[in-house]
Structure 1
Amino acid sequence: MSLGSGERCLPLGSVGADRWRSVLGVATDLDDTLTHHGELTAAVLGALEEVRSLGLPCVVATGRSLGWGAVLARVLPVRAVVTENGGAYVLREDRGLRVAFMEPDDVRDEGMRRVGRCVEEIVDRLPALRVVHDPAARVTDVALDIGERTTVDPAVVREALAMVSDAGLHGITSSIHMHVSYRRADKVGGLRAALGALGLDASALDERWVYVGDSPNDAGAFGAMALSFGVAGVRRFGGRMPSWPAYVTVGDGPEGFAEVVAALRAGRSE
């Protein structure tokens, strides 16, 4: 489980070979974990291929939209993409893609009406915040740009999160976006649902799957999964992390992810 403090995260090298050999799959965040300034590097694509060559399934869990998830599931060597912080997921199957949601249509529709009203109030009161340009591709939340194309003062983000809470909704941040939803962010719940739909053992997620991430919307996975890894940049979130990863890499972003995969490969060969 998460050790609860950035200073207490253990180094990657402290994971023993027996733990690596027990791994059944790899789950990972996308932005600033697999990507560097929004781009997928050759090194990280090679690391994803390495996971597949080890015979292990890989699942991406991201705050990006369902529309993004459909593209990622087609072009990356992964079995599924959990999107919108657990609100929906896309499965890669032999004959194409399958999309699934965590709630029925009527719940999503009513929830998104409430979210829309709240977001209108936020951008009216706090003009530094702007809606990310993918609303048509989102089905369970709305994302506001706080670090992708612009940098927003953390005090403004805190005020916006307070407005979300006052409206009875849920807000969470990643390294680039603030998400507003009618549902609590739950990447772990989305991962469990996706694994079950793939016919994999979802009960093994906590102890026998690796998770790699970098920011507060990964905290649920950090807290739930014993083999949770933060890339080096996770430390910049200081007191904003509800749960910390058990381990931390030396490298940031894709370099950190590649470190985890290299250690996984080496540990399984011992």
Structure 2
Amino acid sequence: MKPIASFPAETARRIVCVLTDIDDTLTTDGQLPAASYAALEKLRGAGLAVVPVTGRPAGWCDMIARFWPVDGVIGENGAFYFRHDPVAKKMIRKFIATEDERAANRRKLLALGARILSEVPGAAISADQLYREADLAIDVCEDVPPLPRAAVNKIVCLFEREGGIAKVSSIHVNGWFGRYDKLAMTRIFLRERLGLDLDEAKERIVFCGDSPNDAPMFGFFPYACGVANVRDFESSMTATPAFVASKRGGEGFVEIAERILSARTSV
């Protein structure tokens, strides 16, 4: 991982879209700093599309799509995208699974959640689970004392044993049924809502993240960036970002945004 200061200025001037994780990428210690929000606004004001790509739930994503300075949001690790059309006053929602499939999956996840809580002491269902459409979030450090790595790995194994997919973020283990991830829904969103072919445009897109569930994005985008706390997971990740900020969390995101913006305004 190269320091963000070495991000090529010529490449920064060609960027058309910034994709970003939320927790511990835009946020710091569970809070969204004003500087992070302002950086989103500045990026969009510079003509870039801005799209959060998060493990957070549908309920949160509805609010983000409506009120944040973004072009849409991909939520629950790729289960859907939401895009608000302010002219039509309409929320556009696209899910990978049908409503019936999501209902059936929720029943299976409910039973699996009870098993995880019984077999992994200290784990808890995430406080935001009530607002989720497609996945089950197990809290491993947000509102509970941090679980040891062995316990986190056991949660992943329990999901996988039942035929599910599990991804570890900086705060949760998210599990679901269905073959999708952040990258798969990003491909759909960019094609349907921004008119971009992901394979052709990937060198003009920056993804910012911080944890193992961002690995598919880090591995795909040649100019992916991490905030400094991505180093906490470096040994357990299948792919790492090409560039890394010197600062953690929201301050790191601001550092990345400023590098992109300064190169564009220096022309």
TM-score normalized with structure 1 length: 0.92
Does 2:255 align with 1:259? yes
Residue correspondence of structure 1 range 48-67 to structure 2 within 5 A: 48-67=40-59
1:2-29, CA deviations, whole angstroms, 9 ceiling, x for partnerless residues? xxxxxxx111122222211111110000
Q: Aligned partners of 1:10 and 1:62: how far apart in 2?
A: 24
Could you tell me which amino acid in structure 2 is paired with residue 236 of structure 1? Answer: D
Does 2:28 align with 1:33? no
Whether the 8 Å CA contact 1:230–1:245 is kept in 2: the answer is yes
Among 205, 210, 213, the alignment partner of 2:209 is: 213
Look up the match of 2:231: 235
Among 4, 7, 11, the alignment partner of 1:19 is: 11
Q: Aligned partners of 2:245 and 2:120: how far apart in 1?
A: 36
Whether the 8 Å CA contact 1:132–1:143 is kept in 2: the answer is yes
Look up the match of 1:3: none
Among 155, 170, 174, the alignment partner of 1:175 is: 170
- CA displacement at 1:185 relative to structure 2: 5.2
1:142-191, CA deviations, whole angstroms, 9 ceiling, x for partnerless residues? 10111111211211111111111111111111000111111245111121
Where structure 1 has 5 or more consecutive residues not aligned to the other structure, the ranges are 1-8
- CA displacement at 1:66 relative to structure 2: 0.7
- SS of alignment partner, residue 77 of structure 2: helix
Comparing 130-139 and 104-113, the one that deviates more: 104-113
| CA distance 1:199–1:16, shift in 2 (3 Å) | closer
Look up the match of 2:106: 112
Could you tell me which amino acid in structure 1 is paired with residue 158 of structure 2? Answer: M
Whether the 8 Å CA contact 1:172–1:185 is kept in 2: the answer is no
Aligned length: 262
| CA distance 1:120–1:205, shift in 2 (3 Å) | farther
Whether the 8 Å CA contact 1:115–1:169 is kept in 2: the answer is no
Q: Aligned partners of 1:45 and 1:225: how far apart in 2?
A: 23
Q: Aligned partners of 2:238 and 2:102: how far apart in 1?
A: 26
- SS of alignment partner, residue 92 of structure 1: strand
Question: Percent same amino acid at aligned positions?
Answer: 34
1:64-91, CA deviations, whole angstroms, 9 ceiling, x for partnerless residues? 0011101111221001110000001110
Look up the match of 1:129: 123
- SS of alignment partner, residue 73 of structure 2: strand
Could you tell me which amino acid in structure 1 is paired with residue 147 of structure 2? Answer: V
Look up the match of 2:189: 194
Root-mean-square deviation (Å): 1.4
Comparing 52-61 and 112-121, the one that deviates more: 112-121
Whether the 8 Å CA contact 1:185–1:217 is kept in 2: the answer is no
- CA displacement at 1:221 relative to structure 2: 0.4
